[in-house]
Amino acid sequence: MAVPASALPAGFDVVRASNPELFCGTFRVTERAAQSSRIFAYQLRDRSLWRLRFERPIFTIATRGAGSILASYADSSFATDTFVDGDEGGLFCLTTMLAGQTTLEHQGKSATATVRSGLAWRPGPSVRLSMSDHNARTNIFLKVLDVESALEHMLDEQLRAPLEFEPSLDWTRGLGSSLKHQLDFVMQEFQREDGVTTSAVAMASLTDFLISLVLRGAAHNYTNRLDRPADAAIPAYVRRAEDFMRAHGEQPIRMSHVAVAAGCSSRTLTAVFKHFRGNTPLGVLHAIRLELARDELTLGVSGVSVIAVARRYGFTNSARFAAAFRRRFGETPSEVARRSSRSSR
């Protein structure tokens, strides 16, 4: 059942739209997250509605943040398409439908959420959402950096590729059902003015539990690694290959050289990296070089530019380097360099 926006407590930031003509058919909302310039553009699919006036709001979005969680409620009377302007965000979003359905399209993948299924996605310019008529939904946003840090702790190692969720969530069985109940609980608490959101300690515990359940209950590119028995040893091939990559990160490296250093064939190297790292050897090398660049920028050495550090580790396109760096670490290379420079004074 949809939650009337009037029933949401004062802590929610509520935005309503009742006159599409004011927005030329498109209603824009700035993402309710710190240090974000992303814009969500909501466009009515039926153009004949663009110049009509309505006595009541035809679109509502309400957001509230507490701790490191951002919760939102949204409803729309008519079929609406949503696009995101700006860089890929530093948040994961878990969508639960209260009424209608929503289809997510991202990088060639499509998934549809109903009352029996949800969505796991990351807001960014490659995302498109299509909402049906009489649509109501809740969204729980979690920081990418928090979720990836928790995953690293569970795996007891650094990630070699960004965490990516499968877009479709099954609410009908297993841990998916448990995750749905927990998301509902979080939304209920955010609607209370005297609940968990008033306690920083309680919010921290709630966030940790929710993130753990998300990583166990939602499929992603590290699911097989989490399901692997704890005593499944990482092959020496992998360790030797990664040690070689770190030691020669500033030099041109071919995968055949890595295979020789690891003591196996290139085919075997690809297979064991895929199984134990969830990535290709080239993808792992890319991640290691990002880590080496970040380590150097963290030192805050005077006179060393971000561009010079990027080139040292093989990143010749500064824009792509900055984008990959932000996806991996949740901040830009320049932000790391400035912070480190200030702390070294």
pLDDT value for 126: 82
CA atoms within 13 A on the CB side of 208: 8
pLDDT value for 86: 64
Check whether 3 has a pLDDT greater than 60.
no
Mean pLDDT of 303-313: 88
% of the chain at pLDDT higher than 70: 87
| Options 1.10.10.60, 2.60.120.10, 3.90.550.10, 3.30.1360.120; CATH of 236-343 | 1.10.10.60
Check whether 33 has a pLDDT greater than 60.
no
**What is the spatial distance between Cα 236 and Cα 224, in angstroms, rounded to a whole number?**
19
For residue 22, give every residue at least 6 positions away whose Cβ sits within 8 Å of its Cβ, in sequence order, or none. none
Check whether 20 has a pLDDT greater than 80.
no
Q: Would the pTM of this model clear 0.75, i.e. be above it?
A: no
Q: What is the mean pLDDT of the chain?
A: 85
Report which listed range, 78-92, 227-241, 325-339, is most confident.
325-339
Count of other CB atoms within 10 angstroms of residue 54: 14
Check whether 119 has a pLDDT greater than 70.
yes
Tell me the β-bridge partners of 82. 42, 129
CA-wise closest residue to 235 among 268, 267, 211, 210: 268
CA distances (Å), origin 217, targets 170, 208, 212, 227, 306: 9, 14, 8, 11, 39
Check whether 4 has a pLDDT greater than 60.
no
pLDDT digits (tens, 9 = 90+) for 52-72: 888 888 888 899 999 999 999
pLDDT value for 83: 83
Measured at the CA of 204, the angle between CA 328 and CA 139, to 5 degrees, comes to: 65
User: Domain extents for the chain?
Assistant: 5-225, 236-343
CATH architecture of residue range(s) 5-225: Sandwich (2.60)
Instruction: Look at 159 and 228; give whichever has higher pLDDT.
Output: 159
pLDDT digits (tens, 9 = 90+) for 275-287: 888 888 999 999 9
pLDDT value for 233: 65
CB–CB of 104/129 below 8 Å?
yes
